[in-house]
Amino acid sequence: QQQVKQSPQSLIVQKGGISIINCAYENTAFDYFPWYQQFPGKGPALLIAIRPDVSEKKEGRFTISFNKSAKQFSLHIMDSQPGDSATYFCAASGGTSGTYKYIFGTGTRLKVLA
Amino acid sequence: ETGVTQTPRHLVMGMTNKKSLKCEQHLGHNAMYWYKQSAKKPLELMFVYNFKEQTENNSVPSRFSPECPNSSHLFLHLHTLQPEDSALYLCASSQERGLAGGIQRGANVLTFGAGSRLTVL
């Protein structure tokens, strides 16, 4: 019940295309859902986050779509660029998992072709 | 730079060695974390320190020993490791915002360092 399942494991997208990464969770007590972006040789960095009281959050080319009833959320990268090539992790926190204990997905390696 | 600095960036050690990983944060945060990152696995939380007090030990083997002398520094002491301990070890920090009688849930933003790549031979 503490897992966050992420798919796909890897993704190849043409420049200008839309990249979509999906995550699903079980624990309905989770109340914060961030996405982290990790470039090679770097640590993960917060990209965008959402709370379950909204169904969508957009920041520039990055959008989180949240479906509370399905317990799913996804990251959409519009007009994907080669500079977006990185590993993306979804995460969830809150509820009985602890106030600052994030449960991470397994990551999606995105490659955007020029 | 993120404000969280980890040293060394790369470490190779034998199973009988003793070494330490160091993390320093310049963000004024009050919580620090050690995570283990292995290929095709979720980031694994190892330890959490909040105001220098260890508040989480996620069933980590005793061959990993954390130390937090102050809110800005965090160490991970390593001894008699196994080859399966080879991984990227990430340090992170966050600012916990306390409310009366508790801590605001799920609100902290983790700031990660670049990690220490550990290889155990």
Interface touch A42/B94, C-beta < 8 Å: no
B92/A43 CB distance under 8 A: yes
**Cα gap A47→A89, rounded to integer Å:** 10
Residue B42 pLDDT: 87
Burial (CB count within 10 angstroms: exposed 0-12, middle 13-18, buried 19+), residue A64:
buried
Residue A88 has pLDDT above 70, yes or no: yes
Residue ranges in chain B whose pLDDT is less than 50: 99-106
Mean pLDDT taken over chain A? 92
Alpha-carbon distances of B45 from A98, B33, B35, B49, B109, rounded to whole Å: 12, 8, 5, 12, 15
Q: B88: nearest CA in chain A?
A: A43
pLDDT tens for residues B46-67?
Answer: 998 887 777 777 789 999 999 9
Which pLDDT belongs to residue B97?
A: 62
Q: What is the pLDDT of residue A45?
A: 95
- What's the full length of chain A, in residues? 114
Nearest CA in chain A to B94: A100
Question: A32 and B105 in contact by Cβ < 8 A?
Answer: yes
Predicted confidence at residue B107, as pLDDT, reads 55
Residue of chain B whose alpha carbon sits nearest to that of A108: B40
A89: confidence class by pLDDT, cuts 50, 70, 90: very high
pLDDT digits (tens, 9 = 90+) for A38-83: 999 999 999 999 988 899 999 999 999 999 999 999 999 999 999 9
- pLDDT score of B101: 38
Tracing tokens 């479906």 back to the chain, one arrives at A67
Pick the residue of B10, B37, B40 with the most A CBs within 10 A to test the interface with A by mutation.
B37
Q: Are A75 and A5 in contact (CB under 8 A)?
A: no
